[in-house]
Copies of this chain bind each other. A is one copy, B any other.
């Protein structure tokens, strides 16, 4: 494919966003390493949703976002563009998908950069808020990486900074496939909600990566080991979805 990063065969997620952006069609499919195949009922459409259609916790969580913002895993720019346009904040969106960045820019995000979360290397005190919506606390990947990256974010943010992040509580499920997966994770000494997944879209096959789903209690423990403190948990009604606010201790 050469320089044309937009057509990378592994950018399944980006192609999904691209097709939806161009033609309002397509469906996200996530594959898990136990063979689970999971066609989404809502994505990719949900990645383009206007503020009024967001889950209530996501709307409420926005009250904790201020100043210079880093949007981790900005996708199609849903959250970053909202903050830039309606809150007039200085937002940088990062994503490891070339086509996600392209879509974000075409949709009006001024600052969007192709960058994997694990490669962040910003100057000390660069941001006042870090946003990780759409379950993107998951991008921490594992307990170990969460601690490393939270440590780095501690330095890269101002003293009164907040991380406003979303997850789903993996224990609020009765799905036998998920419960079996959690048992397997415990046996392998992984966090129960650490899922190894990849995106599938048309003939595009994403790279495998770890995505970490945690309970508020687990998130609290991880945060507290790194100089952050879980100060607030906003819970979505009748849903395992929640938004947490982490501030500095």
The total of chain A residues at the interface (CB under 8 A) is: 17
Residue contact A37 to B201, C-beta cutoff 8 Å = yes
At the interface, yes or no: A203 with Cβ under 8 Å from chain B? yes
At the interface, yes or no: A190 with Cβ under 8 Å from chain B? no
CA–CA, A180 and B204, complex, Å: 14
CA–CA, A70 and B205, complex, Å: 40
- Which of A28-36, A50-58, A78-86, A103-111 forms contacts with chain B? A28-36
Q: What mask results when residues 178 to 206 of chain A are scored 1 for a CB within 8 Å of chain B, else 0? A: 00100000000000000000001111110
At the interface, yes or no: A39 with Cβ under 8 Å from chain B? yes
Interface of A with B (CB < 8 Å)? 27, 29, 31-32, 34-37, 39, 177, 180, 200-205
Q: List 18 A-B contacts (CB under 8 A).
A: A27-B39, A29-B29, A29-B37, A29-B39, A31-B37, A32-B203, A34-B203, A35-B200, A35-B203, A35-B204, A35-B205, A36-B202, A37-B37, A37-B201, A37-B202, A177-B202, A177-B203, A180-B203
